[in-house]
């Protein structure tokens, strides 16, 4: 027993440590969400919550079911790999109910988003100085958006 004679401070220290651990466990049980760690280092219930959110993009396969003519035009040109909603924006609502008019993209801001000359773009990517190239004439006067090599006037779609 003599070795514990002057050990009171050790027991107090152990008590403080134990109280700290208990406080940590109690707070953790109270604040960590129930499904945390169910699948990995995140809240398992988040998957169902995110899956329940409404869709905004329909995906080009859906557009192509109804607009097969445009899909064919597009597949034959340089925009083959630019998907519908990259230009038209998210249109899941229109795809689910075609009576909802999606409107048309604003050509004045659309084309330059990808084609305005910029040192940041790869040199091989087709780009133009819009002012010099078009001089204020709308891009789709000369380029059919779905197949930009086809002259817009005359050869629509
Ligand atoms: C269930 C069939 C259906 C699906 C799916 C669908 N559309 Fe449509 N869309 C229509 C119909 C019908 C119209 C109205 C008639 C028309 O202009 O051809 C229309 C009209 C449009 C218009 C407007 C035409 C205008 O003159 O204003 C655009 C743009 C359009 N769709 C784009 C899309 C895109 C992009 C998708 C995919 C996200 C899509 N649509 C999916 C049936 C569909
Ligand atoms: C590179 C951009 C771009 C892509 C990609 C694109 N569109 Fe368009 N689309 C346009 C523009 C711009 C217009 C409006 C043309 C105008 O105002 O005359 C348009 C018009 C339309 C219209 C109205 C009818 C017409 O021919 O003018 C429909 C429908 C349409 N797009 C559907 C689609 C579908 C479906 C896809 C995918 C298969 C698609 N678009 C891909 C830019 C694009
Ligand atoms: C989301 C980006 C995007 C938008 C918006 C876009 N394009 Fe394109 N465009 C591309 C890509 C990608 C290519 C193919 C480039 C390649 O394969 O080297 C291309 C190719 C082209 C080409 C072919 C160039 C050549 O060398 O033959 C023309 C012309 C063109 N686009 C015009 C337009 C016009 C006009 C609009 C607006 C109606 C437009 N683009 C909107 C991405 C875009
Ligand atoms: C007055 C008709 C006209 C208008 C308007 C026009 N283009 Fe063009 N564009 C052409 C012709 C013709 C070519 C092919 C010339 C060539 O290959 O050198 C071309 C080529 C291009 C190319 C390919 C350049 C390359 O280096 O391969 C792109 C990208 C392009 N245009 C984008 C646009 C955009 C974006 C607009 C709108 C700001 C626009 N064009 C407006 C007639 C026009």
d(CA 92, CA 90) in angstroms, rounded, equals 6
Q: How many angstroms does the Cα of residue 116 sit away from the middle of ligand 4?
A: 11
Distance in angstroms (rounded) separating the CA atoms of residues 117 and 142: 18
Residue nearest to atom 12 of ligand 4 (CA): 142
Q: How far is the CA of 95 from the centre of ligand 1 (A)?
A: 7
pLDDT in tens, 15-55: 999 999 999 999 999 999 999 999 999 999 999 999 999 99
Mean pLDDT score of the chain? 93
Is the Cβ atom of 79 under 6 angstroms away from ligand 4? no
Task: For residue range 65-109, list pLDDT tens digits in order.
Answer: 999 999 999 999 999 999 999 999 999 999 999 999 999 999 999
Ligand at minimal distance from the CA of 77 is 3
> pLDDT for 108-142, tens place per residue?
999 999 999 999 999 999 999 999 999 999 999 99
């Amino acid at each position: 027993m003599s070795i514990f004679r002057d050990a009171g401070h050790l027991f107090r220290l152990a008590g403080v440590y134990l109280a700290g651990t208990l406080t940590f466990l109690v707070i953790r049980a109270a604040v960590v969400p129930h499904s945390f760690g169910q699948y990995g280092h995140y809240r398992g219930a988040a998957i169902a919550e995110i899956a329940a959110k409404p869709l905004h993009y329909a995906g080009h396969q859906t557009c192509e079911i109804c607009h097969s003519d445009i899909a064919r035009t597009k597949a034959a040109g340089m925009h083959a790999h630019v998907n519908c909603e990259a230009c038209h924006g998210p249109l899941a609502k229109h795809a689910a109910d075609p009576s909802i008019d999606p409107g048309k993209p604003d050509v004045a801001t659309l084309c330059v988003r990808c084609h305005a000359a910029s040192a940041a773009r790869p040199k091989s990517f087709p780009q133009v100085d819009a002012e010099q190239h078009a001089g204020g004439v709308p891009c789709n006067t000369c380029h059919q958006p779905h197949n930009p090599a086809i002259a817009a006037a005359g050869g629509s779609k």
